[in-house]
Structure 1
Amino acid sequence: MARAPKAPRDPALQGDKPSDPQLHLLKLLPNLVSILALCAGLTAIRLAISGRIAEAVFLIALAAALDGLDGRLARMLKSESAIGAELDSLCDFVNFGVVPGLVLYLWGLRSEIEIGWIAVLVYAVCCMLRLARFNVGSRTADPAEKTAFIGVPSPAGAMLALLPIYLSNVTDVQLPPLVVAAWMVAAGALMISRLRTPSLKRMTIAASWARYALVAAVAGVAALITYPWLTLLVLSLAYLAAILALALAGLRKGGERA
């Protein structure tokens, strides 16, 4: 008599575990950096509520630095993944869309509660739209972004939005709440604009200038540590001047073609 074929073993009943691919712990480092940036941003809110605005701004700047690091680490370790990209985008929205608006609101917009909160909402929505556009554009290579960004990136937008705080600490000039609110909305508008903005990771220099670039970077870091408010103010103004220069260059090219 022929024997009936054996039924396949069920791993759950037999105690066998399905094969689980192995992952080097080092490849989790980019995601850990993103999470650390998120923790820095959320802690900035707690410090701002306590009135420690300077420390809150420092943590936002730290989150921006970590944001520039996680992507490079992922490419270096060859650990880029869809979940890593989504994690980075969600952290960016909190750190650069929610936190700066709340810090500015707690710092200088309490006397204009309604208008100040509207500015916070507008800024946050602009940051969300900027990140959504960037995520879509990263999947379809945009030739316009080969040498520059289109619109201000969210970390740079956050640092620009905080410019009234830098100015207040450098000059002791407290801008009126309506001006602060208008500036926050303007920073949001720059993020969703079609203006070309500088991109350090896409800029190139002659090899003979590399030593000077390194010296300038060291001097910049030293200035940031020694004179943080003045350095942040100067960097923000220089960034705005670079955006203006690119816009004028684009208009000039358009006029020549016409």
Structure 2
Amino acid sequence: MSTPPSDTKAEISILQLLPNVITIGAICAGLTAIRFGYQGDFETSVRLILLACVLDGIDGRLARMMNSDSAVGAELDSLADFLNFGVAPVLILHHWALTDTTGLGWIAVLCYTICCVLRLARFNVSSRLEKLSPDPSSGTDHFIGVPSPAGAVLVMLPMFVAFLFPDIGIIPPVAIAIYIGAIGLLMISRLPTYSFKNVSIARTYAKYLMLVAVLMAAALFTYLWATLVLFCVIYLLGLVRAFQLDRRAKKNTEG
């Protein structure tokens, strides 16, 4: 009786494991961010969350470039996103400003985290459906709802402001709690948010895009908190604009 052939390869290149190693590195960054947050070193904890965002942007693209996509890698990436963007930022925020809110702060934390896991579950299901029935015309230039990495950066805006303007005092905890809940709801909303995944530009403009990227990186290294505050404000204004355009499109469809 012959043994059925196995679909799995007996050997794998060490380089093909690199995307998963980067994902695990992101998990370590998120967990360590929680540790530093509970030790009171909030700036370091926020920097580690930002590092997790960078690593999250690298691992998937690297896996596709190296043709090393795997089911394990996809699940690992989703679990890392939940920890780094759904749990760590709000736990740090809670310890930073919401420990004296008699339950309201924790309700905001739960709301945000539940919204994040629902958003990730929705994204995972839609990704699997696209793989089962690929449609060449299904490429889109927007997400549905705020992506979890962007949500993690947005939700830490009160901390960015406090680090940028240390003399203004603590932002009212109730306002922070309401803001956390609002960002969570934006993640599970049906609001179209811009995506750069399928954006292409003419080759003649590539050098200008590279220059902008270098300037943005320099701004982040030199004026980290000011740059992050500016990014968050621009992103939130973009969400307002997206809401207006979405309403206008629905009215035109109904009319």
TM above 0.5: yes
Question: In 2, distance between residues paired with 1:198 and 1:176?
Answer: 31
- Of the three residues 225, 228, 231, the one matched with 1:229 is 225
Work out which of the residue numbers 137, 142, 148 in structure 1 matches 2:142: 148
Local SS of the residue matching 2:68: coil
> 1:144 touches 1:150 (CA, 8 Å); kept in 2?
no
Q: CA offset at residue 244 of structure 1?
A: 1.8
Task: Please tell me whether residue 253 in structure 1 is matched to residue 249 in structure 2.
Answer: yes
Does the 8 Å CA contact 1:124/1:188 hold for their aligned counterparts? Answer: yes
Question: Among residues 19, 31, 51, which one is paired with 1:30 in the alignment?
Answer: 19
- Deviates most, 180-189 or 105-114: 105-114
Q: Helix, strand or coil: the match of 2:95? A: helix
Give SS of 1:149's match.
Answer: strand
**8 Å contact kept, 1:105–1:116:** yes
| Paired amino acid for 2:126 | G
For 1:169 and 1:224, locate their aligned partners in 2 and report how far apart those are by CA, in whole Å.
14
Mapping for residues 27-106 of structure 1, pairs under 5 Å = 27-106=16-95
Name the CA shift for 1:43/1:144 in 2 (closer, same or farther; >3 Å): same
Residue identity (%): 48
Distance 1:20 1:158, change over 3 A: closer
Report which of the two structures shows the higher radius of gyration computed on alpha carbons: 1
Count of aligned positions: 241
Distance in 1, matches of 2:163 and 2:82, equals: 27
Q: Which runs of 4+ in 1 moved over 6 A?
A: 142-145
CA RMSD of aligned residues (A): 1.8
Amino acid paired to 1:91: A
Q: 2:156 aligns with which of 158, 162, 165?
A: 162
- Once the two structures are overlaid, the 10-residue window that deviates more, 138-147 or 182-191, is 138-147
Aligned twin of 2:237: 241
2:57 corresponds to which letter in structure 1? G
Which deviates more from structure 2 when the two are superposed, residues 241-250 or residues 201-210?
201-210
**Normalized against structure 2, the TM-score is what?**
0.90
Structure 2 stretches of 5 or more lacking a match?
A: 2-7
